Structure 1
Amino acid sequence: MDSIEKQWYVLHTYSGYENKVKANLESRIETMNMTDYIFRVVVPENEVTTVKDGEEKTVIENDFPGYALVEMVMSDEAWFVVRNTPGVTGFVGSHGGGSKPTPLLPEEVDNLMSRMGISARREEKIEIAEGETVKIVAGPFAGMEGVVTSADDEKQLLNVTVEVFGRETPTEMSYDDVDKVETF
C-alpha cells in the first residue's frame, strides 16, 4: 500500500557508512528525479566534547551507528530508489518479501530531531485564515479535516472544529499539525 503523505522511515546501513549512504541517496534523489517523493536524509549525530591530556576536543558522534533517517512518500518508485542505494541494507520495520516498512511515530521523530536541534516539521510558513478547511496531519485527530475558527499567528496556534461522532468538537493545535486543503 502506497502512502500519499511524507513520513519518516529508518534505514539500516553498513555501520560506519551512514554519511556515505546519506551522500549517495541525496545524489540519487537528484539524478533520478525523486525530489517530489524523497525529501530529507538525516544521520542522527551529536557534538561531544571530551578532555584528553588536558586538551578539550569536540567530535561528532553517531547516536545510532548503522542507521539513518529518511523523510519520504512511500511509493513503489521511492522505495526502490532508497532500497537500492549503495550501503543501504534495508528498512527497519519491513518484514521482507517486498513488504513496505512501518514509519516512525510523530513523537519519535520529534524526539530524535529535537535532540539534534533540527525541526522535524515544515520549514516554510503557511498562511491560514479563519473559515479555511485544514487537514490534520499529527495528533489524535490526524487524517481528519476541520474548519479553522481562529488563528493566532504570533503563537502559531489554531482553534479548529472537527466533526467527531456527528458532533462538532473544538480543539487547539499547532500550525505544524495541519496542512491547507486546496480548493479548486
Structure 2
Amino acid sequence: MESKEKRWYVLHTYSGYENRVKSNLESRAQSMGMQDYIFRVIVPEETVRQVKDGQAKEVEEKTFPGYVLVEMVMTDQAWYIARNTPGVTGFLGSHGGGSKPTPLLPEEVDRIMKRMGMDVARTDINVSVGDHVKIIAGAFADLTGKVIDVDHEKMKLKVELEMFGRQTTAELVFDQIDTVND
C-alpha cells in the first residue's frame, strides 16, 4: 500500500531517545535526499508547572514518552529509512510481517498540535499563478510577491518578489503566506 499522500505516523522509540531519534531521522532524510517524502519530525512536549524544593518552575515534559511523530509520504524507501533510524523500535499501527503502519487521523494530529501550542498546518490555499500574496513568516516576512508556481501536492509555492532592487524567487509553504486582495 504505497501512498502519495502526506500523512502523520507514530514511531516507537527507546524511552529517553526521542530527541536523538528526531535529530537522526531529520539528518538521514536530508543526507539520503528524502526531503520530498519525510517532512516534519516532532517530539510532542508540553510545559508543566512543578514545585521542587519549595520553588515553582515550568519544565518541558514529553507528552508521549517513547514516541515521535513523523509527517511523511509512505513509500517503501521512506518507510525503510524511518524504521531503520537508530533508536526506532518500529511504527505504531504496523502489524509486523512487512505491513505498513496506519496513519493518525487528522483530528488526532490537530488535537496534539493544539495541545503543544502549534498551529495546525494549512493543507490547501486558494491561490493561482499570477496572484499576489503577502509573506507572513520566514526570512521574507512582510514582503509581497507574485505567485509563479503552485504545487498543491507538496503544499509549496514559488513567489517572485523584489528585494534589494532585484527580482528574487522564494520557495515557500502554504503556512508562510496570506492572500492579498488586488
The TM-score bracket by the shorter chain reads 0.5 to 0.7
* Residues 7-65 of structure 1: per-residue CA shift (max 9 Å, x gap): 00000000111111001101101111100000000011111121223312221101111
Match of 1:80 in 2: 80
Aligned residue in 2 for 1:28? 28
What is aligned with 1:142?
A: none
Calculate the TM-score normalised by the size of structure 1: 0.67
d(CA) in 2 for partners of 1:128, 1:22:
33
Unaligned runs of 5+ in 1: 130-135, 138-174, 177-184
Query: SS in structure 2 opposite 1:21?
Result: helix
Query: For the residues of structure 2 that align with 1:53 and 1:93, how far apart are their CA atoms?
Result: 41
Find the residue that maps to 1:51 and give its secondary structure.
Answer: strand
- Letter aligned with residue 90 of structure 2: G
- 1:37 aligns to what? 37
Q: Mapping of 1:57-72 within 5 angstroms?
A: 57-72=57-72
Q: How does 1:56-135 map to 2 (within 5 A)?
A: 56-122=56-122, 126-128=125-127
Give the Cα separation in 1 of the matches to 2:96 and 2:112: 26
Tell me, in whole angstroms, the C-alpha distance in 1 between the residues paired with 2:52 and 2:27: 38
| Root-mean-square deviation (Å) | 2.3
Partner SS state of residue 65, structure 1: coil
SS at 2:72's partner residue?
strand
SS at match of 2:49: strand
Map of 1:133 onto structure 2: none
State the one-letter code of the partner of 1:117: G
Secondary structure at 2:21 match in 1: helix
1:126 partner letter: I
Letter in 1 for 2:6: K
| 1:10 aligned residue | 10
Which TM-score applies when normalising by structure 2? 0.67
- % identity of equivalent residues: 67
Gaps of 5+ in 2: 129-151, 154-173, 176-182
When structure 1 is superposed on structure 2, of 29-38 and 111-120 the one drifting more is 111-120
Q: What residue is the counterpart of 1:53 in the other structure?
A: 53
